[in-house]
Structure 1
Amino acid sequence: MSATRRQLLARSGALGAGIAFSGALSELFAGTAAALGHSGYGPLVPDPDGLLDLPEGFRYRVLSREGDELRSGEGPVPSNHDGMAAFAGASVGRHRRVHLVRNHENRATAKLQVPTVEGLTYDPMGKGGCTTLTLDERGKVLAERVAIAGTAVNCAGGPTPWGTWLTCEETEDKAGTNGYTKDHGFIFEVDPADPHRTGAVPLTAMGRFQHEAIAVDPRRGIVYETEDAFQKPFGLFYRFLPKKPEGGRGSLRAGGRLQAMRVPGVPDLSTIQETGATFDGIEWVDVPDPLAAQTPIRLQDFGPKGITHAQKLEGCYWGGKSVYFVSSFARSAEGSAADHFGQIWRYDPGARRLTLVIVFGPDTDVQLPGEEPDNICLAPTGGLMVCEDGEGAQHVYGVTRRGEVYAMARNRQNIGTPEKPEWGEFAGVTFSPDGRTMYVNCYTPGTTFAVTGPWHR
């Protein structure tokens, strides 16, 4: 645990404490199935193999681990498994195959880079990218290959309504930095079935900044983007107005207009602490230089009214008629205007209204030491699945409509020592199109799991 975080917890009286939620949880689940009527599936059962603890009745399969050989023969499975999504594949009889697209958040120092492949490589010096896995109806891995290479720090992203994956570079490094031969900080589109149909083309009009995640408004075609900037001033929340809002593979290459969100009178979202706080008349301001040729976007001149910042803008998803985005935490010691343990915001584009829906905070249950929400997805049974990215034990948590929090999985892979154990974060939680399998990554050591069991119990 870092000194900064320990001091913050101590000041709040919550050292070693757990996770709690306040707010209108029902807002998050529009269009999902009925929520579980209880707080989860029971206690986690220790895994005798020391990989993944799950509730009784659930089981996992390891689909892929870093260092193993890709089934394509292109090289070893890369490191740092991060954002991920599942897509319906071709039908074989009565069954559909599933494509998993998986990010690799590799920096210049990464040990196992995404292998470079002709036609799929942006910058030969970039070590990040995506790999895809194709599964049959029983969950068996049929194929595993490179989907895009030569990118950098591919953190999260998001699926499009037309069945492709947008992978996001969480860096602002330009050509000549860290050995790169091209500028980085872009979004790239990946076709999960045939990556050569999308290639390695940066969607430059969508901005060059420390991207985290995206969500697409399926009716308007607008793409919302989060920025996880590491230094003050922190990141912005963006929307991209494409020239071809009808969408389709390759449509985002036609360009469009990038704008940043301004909440009148609120320069820093961390100062808003009460759930239900609502702001009408949200403004969207054109980004002066989306390519950030000289100045990072968050430092550019947005006029005398300024722009609205937030620390650790991460997960982003579309639900019902709104887009939701996550601020994992805010720390005044690092430059935020106020402290918090995590927020979920809801923006309603029809009403131009922003609402603080959920606040994460310390509770008294030491068995759930969770905070700092990162990747989030809607579960087909109703509720949320939240990947924890903090210190200590690392979990995937479930949250019901009633606000009940339960541990769904715990990472047992110790990357520290027996005396000082450490566990890698979870990332990329997603569900198969039929809702029967949860897929999730362990970031370090890079491991992709498929979890099946009595989800509708």
Structure 2
Amino acid sequence: MSETGSPTSRRQLLARTGAAGIGIAFTGALSELFTGTAAAQNLGHRGYGPLVPDPDGLLDLPRGFRYTVLSREGDRLRSGEGPVPSNHDGMAAFAGRRGRVHLVRNHENRATGRVPVPVIDGLTYDPEGKGGCTALTLDQRGRVLSERVAIAGTAVNCAGGPTPWGTWLTCEETEDRAGTNGYAKDHGYIFEVDGADPRRTGAVPLTAMGRFQHEAIAVDPKRGVVYETEDAFDRPFGLFYRFLPEKPLGGTGSLRAGGRLQAMRVPDVPDLSSIQETGAHFDRVEWVDVPDPLAAETAIRFQDFGPKGITHAQKLEGCYWGGRSVYFVSSFARSSDGSAGDHYGQIWRYDPDRRRLTLVIVFGPDTDIQLPGESPDNICLAPSGGLMVCEDGGGAQHVYGVTRHGEVYALARNRQNRGTDDDPDWGEFAGVTFSPDGRTMYVNVYDPGTTFAVTGPWHR
């Protein structure tokens, strides 16, 4: 999750960059992101209309949309295994039998997690880890049939991503070793989770995919290559990786068989934040073998990648596959933190066929509802052709929709105030995803952990 600054610090940054008073424009080659229908192309600048205040104070939506609360932290898991864990984060939806939907949901609990994932025999990696995943099964009418632990004993499960074979790769956003924060085992791995049958995948770290502060993944369905983002909190910042499995496209057994982990090098670009103009592209992207994927002595981003170095970026977060390319998000960059440049969020596109990297979207601050909020985090493509973005910044928190023409609208606003009337504080959104039939959007509020199902006139 992002560690964003206060509204005051953002205004100071605008002043320093000369942008105060004029705002930061949202720009980008959005047409290459979407392959939507004519209905999606005709969405107006107001999207589905203004948000209607929710009398129950949970979630504001446009008129005609409604939500159902599927799960809240502290409630009892239907399996009887314990309470619903806290810190709801990345999530994906998978098709089940007889029209059912399996939701797999991350819980980004650290060593002091408020409501930890219950320790379950056969599904627990490290009994001292408080994070993990839970799995919900919904019937054809969207009613919750079951809710249970899918993996436990992991740590800081932030995001991840779905695989083409119907499993979820959950990512640990930590580099803590055994003995740190009370952990009994090393952390910083990816684990595979089967939402329909968690015991089939168990709790086995995919060590060849690297040990670092993982954020999200995306799988190339043609080649089986897995792309990975790293959300490192200090300099040098994270890297963008690809994993080449020894046995691609085979599910659990293939990923456990090992492979090669490589990091992206953009020649003469040591820091992606130095690139500010959308449409900027690089045609000589290189991939360099990681010297020590397990980071036995040195964190990967500190390792020696040769005289040409490697390319870093601050706050690498969301990652997804669309069309023939992988897209990844840099949530923000601050020169005051050590980045080469300042921005409020970028989306990059890498085309493996052309080996081309392109900056396609730059985000603006959350000072105007017509601009995407700062610090984009989890992100997904909507079935109708649009882009859904979870905001993780200061102030009010939204799920924004972006049309293929770059028009931005608010789709949802979190109304759960964790602060006071005088000093309000709203939790971020995370884990936005759609049902396999495209009729329901599922999304989490991180804190207090809440999972929503949103239905409405998406065709409009």
Other-structure match for 2:65: 58
Residue type of the partner of 2:66?
R
Equivalent-residue separation in structure 1 for 2:197 and 2:23 (angstroms): 43
Given that 1:19 and 1:370 are in contact with CA atoms closer than 8 Å, whether structure 2 keeps it comes out as no
1:185–1:284 distance in 2 versus 1, CA, 3 Å:
same
Equivalent-residue separation in structure 2 for 1:225 and 1:416 (angstroms): 34
Equivalent-residue separation in structure 2 for 1:34 and 1:208 (angstroms): 43
1:227–1:363 distance in 2 versus 1, CA, 3 Å:
closer
State the shift of 1:370 in Å. 1.4
Identity of aligned pairs, percent? 85
Other-structure match for 1:6: 11
Given that 2:372 and 2:400 are in contact with CA atoms closer than 8 Å, whether structure 1 keeps it comes out as no
Other-structure match for 2:81: 74
Equivalent-residue separation in structure 1 for 2:20 and 2:392 (angstroms): 17
2:252 alignment partner, SS class: coil
Bigger shift: residues 400-409 or 367-376: 367-376
Other-structure match for 1:47: 54
Equivalent-residue separation in structure 2 for 1:124 and 1:90 (angstroms): 33
Residue type of the partner of 1:85?
A
Aligned counterparts, 1:185-334, within 5 A: 185-334=188-337
1:196–1:366 distance in 2 versus 1, CA, 3 Å:
closer
Given that 2:39 and 2:459 are in contact with CA atoms closer than 8 Å, whether structure 1 keeps it comes out as no
Aligned counterparts, 1:60-209, within 5 A: 60-91=67-98, 96-209=99-212
Bigger shift: residues 28-37 or 423-432: 28-37
User: Which runs of no fewer than 5 residues in structure 2 stay unpaired?
Assistant: none
Residue type of the partner of 1:273?
Q
1:32–1:183 distance in 2 versus 1, CA, 3 Å:
farther
Given that 1:81 and 1:447 are in contact with CA atoms closer than 8 Å, whether structure 2 keeps it comes out as yes
TM-score (norm 2): 0.96
1:248–1:45 distance in 2 versus 1, CA, 3 Å:
same
Specify which of 30, 48, 54 is matched with residue 25 of structure 1: 30
Bigger shift: residues 373-382 or 358-367: 358-367
Equivalent-residue separation in structure 1 for 2:294 and 2:122 (angstroms): 24
Residue type of the partner of 1:22?
T
Report Cα offsets for 1:387-421 as digits up to 9, x if no partner.
00000000000000010000000000000111100
Q: What's the C-alpha RMSD, in Å, of the aligned pairs?
A: 1.6
TM-score (norm 1): 0.96
Report Cα offsets for 1:65-118 as digits up to 9, x if no partner.
000000000000000000000000111xxxx10000000000001110000000
1:29 alignment partner, SS class: coil
Q: For this pair of structures, how many residues does the alignment match? A: 453
Equivalent-residue separation in structure 2 for 1:44 and 1:173 (angstroms): 42
User: Which runs of no fewer than 5 residues in structure 1 stay unpaired?
Assistant: none
Report Cα offsets for 1:102-140 as digits up to 9, x if no partner.
000000011100000000000000000000000001110
Equivalent-residue separation in structure 2 for 1:51 and 1:19 (angstroms): 30
1:101 alignment partner, SS class: strand
Residue type of the partner of 2:88?
H
Equivalent-residue separation in structure 2 for 1:239 and 1:279 (angstroms): 17
Residue type of the partner of 2:31?
S
Equivalent-residue separation in structure 1 for 2:215 and 2:37 (angstroms): 25
Residue type of the partner of 2:175?
E
Residue type of the partner of 2:311?
T
Equivalent-residue separation in structure 2 for 1:77 and 1:236 (angstroms): 33
Given that 1:17 and 1:366 are in contact with CA atoms closer than 8 Å, whether structure 2 keeps it comes out as no
Equivalent-residue separation in structure 2 for 1:381 and 1:19 (angstroms): 28
Equivalent-residue separation in structure 2 for 1:13 and 1:412 (angstroms): 33
1:451 alignment partner, SS class: strand
1:430 partnered with 2:423? no
Residue type of the partner of 2:40?
A
Given that 1:33 and 1:380 are in contact with CA atoms closer than 8 Å, whether structure 2 keeps it comes out as no
Given that 2:133 and 2:149 are in contact with CA atoms closer than 8 Å, whether structure 1 keeps it comes out as yes
Given that 1:429 and 1:441 are in contact with CA atoms closer than 8 Å, whether structure 2 keeps it comes out as yes
1:293–1:17 distance in 2 versus 1, CA, 3 Å:
farther
1:415–1:354 distance in 2 versus 1, CA, 3 Å:
same
2:33 alignment partner, SS class: helix
State the shift of 1:321 in Å. 0.6
